Each structure stands twice: as C-alpha cells, then as structure tokens.
Structure 1
Amino acid sequence: MRRVQERRPVVSPLSREANAPGRRGRPALIGVIAAAVVAVDQVTKSLAERHLAAGQPRHVVGSLYLDLTFNSGAAFSLGRGVTPVVETIVVVLVVGLLFFGRRAARTATIPVALGIALLLGGAAGNLVDRVFRHNGGAVVDFIDILRIGHRDLWPVFNVADAAIVVGALTLVLAYSRKDQAGRDEERADRA
C-alpha cells in the first residue's frame, strides 16, 4: 500500500513574516505616528506665530535660537518664488508616500514603518501650512539651531522638517542594514 504524502501549502518566509501578529498593526502604527507628527508640528508652529516676532530671534541656550521665518520655497529655502510648483510637488509626494506606506506597511519592520511615518507626517505637516495657514503658501519655520552672533550656520526649520530628515535617515539605515544582512546570508549559503 502506498503512503499518501500530506500536502501543505508552501509558505514563503516573506509571507510568513508579513502575516506575523506584530506586522498586521504596522499600517495603524504608521498612521498614528504620522498624525502625531502633524499635531506636534502644527501646535509648535501656532505657538511660534503667537509668541515670536519675525526678525527678532530669541536666545534659548548655546547656539539655539527661536526665530520666526516664513519659507515659501522647499527645504532649505530652495525654490522660492515658485510656490505653486512646490505645493504641487508636495501634494504628489504626500500621495506617493501614502501609496508607498500602505504597500510597504504589509512587510515593514519597525524602523521602516517609523521612517515612513516620519516622512509622511513631516510632508503632511508642511502641506497643511501651505494650504491652510494664511502665509501666501509659505511654511512657518522657527528653530534656529546653529546661530553664532548674527550668522546662521544652518537653515531655520520646523518640527515637520526635522521629522522628514530623521525619517529619511531611518529608512536609509534600515534598508542598508537589510541589504547587508542579505549579503551576509548569501555568503553563508555559499560557504
């Protein structure tokens, strides 16, 4: 009598990892972190507008000042004078991040989910400024971290800008670490 071999569906490690209990909540985690970034960004910008005067920096500690400015350009004041173009690019970026974030969230590690959330929250925070604040499409910036005397050694920025930079760095580190782990695994398989 022949034994019947039990057939089980083949489940790849990637799909197993994507359906792991902790991974199912990644889209919600991304949404919560992005919303928190937008909320903190908008509250701090409102406080800056209420308590700071443009062109009158306030010393906080060391080289840190609070200095209310309005940036009609993109990051680091690039693209000034083309506000409609910058706004269009930001809208496309936010939509792209929503699409990418939703797809990537299915298999994202915690660092990747965090990076996506910070990027999405930062881009959305600055988009809210451009669309809903009445500053002619400009973004409120107020953190002046490297001022020595009357010289700014770093552009003035806001919480959303900081979230974008930290999110991008987090993604670069997470993906480079993942690539390195893949190369190490390949080498081990060959040995």
Structure 2
Amino acid sequence: MSSSPRRSLLAAPWFWWMLSLAIASADLAMKSAVTGSLPVGTVIPFTPFFNLVHFWNTGAAFSFLADAGGWQRYFFIVIALVISIVLALVLRKPRVNSEALGYSLILGGAVGNLIDRAFRGHVIDYLDFYWQSWHWPAFNLADIGIVVGAAMLILGSLLSPKAEAGRVKE
C-alpha cells in the first residue's frame, strides 16, 4: 500500500491556471476601481485600524528599491515574468491540493503585479492597516496572494511527513 500524499482531484492544470487568472483579474479590477475613483495619495478611513488608500509603489515589498532611479521597474518585470513562467510550468504536473493552491496564489499575485508594473510603471496599493500611529506598508490583493501562497508552501513543507531515507520498498 502506498503512503504517498493524496493527489489533487482537481489535478488538471487548467483549473489552477484559471484560479491564478481569477486572482490576477480580481486584483486588477480593484486597482482599476481605485485608480478610476480616487486621486493618488487619497486616504479614506473605514475602521479604527483600516484605510482604503491609493498609493503608487515603484519598488517591491515594503517599497524596496522604490527610489532606485527607474531601472528597478524592468528588473521586477523580468523577475515576475520568470517566476510566472516557472510556476505555470510547475502547475502542469499533478500536485497535492495545498501545494497547487499555494503555487496558484503566488502565480496570480505575480501576474497581477506584473501587469500593473508593465503597463503603469508602478504597482497600485490600496489596503492600509494600522495600529494607532503605526502603519503596515500599503498593499493589494496580489500581495495577499503571494504572501498567503508562500506561507502555505512553507507550512506544507514543515508539516508534511518526510520521506524516510533508505526506505526499502515492499
């Protein structure tokens, strides 16, 4: 009897690619709504810990390299494009559901931010969470996909049973 992890019943690559496309599309729709209705720099308080904002990020996470002079746009486009191609290819093979979902979330987020950066020159951020005067850097749905997908893959690798070294096949 095999003790391999259960493979996805939704193993068709198109399912995971469509999920990624849905995440990227939802993110781009939100970015379009924010861009079309709020001037850059707008802050709309919603709760004592959340604002809807319209900020531009020319860098990466936490505005890393945001003031680097412009070359970073192309650098991040190339990185996102390579990662997206690799993840799309990885999803061609059957995966455990949680692993495929993690890859799909990262792919959707990477594509959402890639399209934004390629066509706008920057990424639109619109979610601002804070506590008193401390604000987490603003982010978007694509960023949530990337972070949640990466967390799922990390947790999955830490919690999955390790293959026994030198195990004799029966």
Q: Answer yes or no: same fold by TM over 0.5.
A: yes
The 1:161/1:55 distance shift into structure 2, 3 A limit, reads: same
Deviation of residue 147 (structure 1)? 5.3
By how many angstroms is 1:123 displaced? 0.9
Q: What corresponds to 1:112 in structure 2?
A: 99
Distance 1:174 1:105, change over 3 A: farther
Q: Output the amino acid matched with 2:146.
A: I
Aligned match for 1:89, one of 76, 79, 93: 76
Inter-partner Cα distance in structure 1 for 2:144 and 2:54? 16
In structure 1, runs of 5+ residues without a counterpart are 1-11
Provide the TM-score with structure 1 as the length reference. 0.74
CA distance 1:21–1:160, shift in 2 (3 Å):
closer
- Measured against aligned partners, the alpha-carbon deviations of 1:85-104 in whole angstroms (never above 9, x if no partner) come to 34323423332342244235
Question: Which residue of structure 2 aligns with residue 182 of structure 1?
Answer: 162
Instruction: Quote the offset at 1:64 in angstroms.
Output: 0.6
Change (3 A) 1:93 1:167: same
Query: Residues 138, 36 of structure 1: CA spacing in aligned structure 2 closer, same or farther, 3 A cutoff?
Result: same
After superposition, where does 1:3-82 map in structure 2 within 5 Å?
A: 22=9, 24-25=11-12, 27-82=13-68
Aligned partners of 1:23 and 1:106 also within 8 Å: no
Tell me the secondary structure at the aligned position of residue 42 of structure 2.
Answer: coil
Q: Is the 8 A contact 2:20 2:107 kept in 1?
A: yes
Q: Is the 8 Å Cα contact of residues 16 and 91 (structure 2) preserved in structure 1?
A: no
Alignment match, 1:142: 126
Paired residue secondary structure (1:182): coil
State the identity %: 30
Q: Report the alpha carbon displacement of residue 105 of structure 1 after superposing the two structures with TM.
A: 4.4
Q: CA RMSD in A?
A: 2.7
Larger relative helix fraction: 1
What secondary structure, in the 3-state scheme, does the structure 2 residue paired with 1:29 have? helix
TM normalised by structure 2 equals 0.83
Gaps of 5+ in 2: none
Amino acid at match of 1:158: N
Change (3 A) 1:96 1:174: same
Per the alignment, do residues 176 and 21 of structure 1 end up closer, same or farther by CA in structure 2, a change over 3 Å counting? closer
User: Match for residue 156 of structure 1?
Assistant: 138
Per-residue CA shift, 1:132-164, capped at 9, x if unaligned? Answer: 13xxx111111101153xx34200111111111
CA gap 1:50/1:100 in 2 versus in 1, 3 angstroms: closer
- Superposed CA deviations along residues 43-94 of structure 1, whole A, max 9, x for unmatched, are 0001111222233311112311011110111111110133433432342333
SS in 2 for 1:142: strand
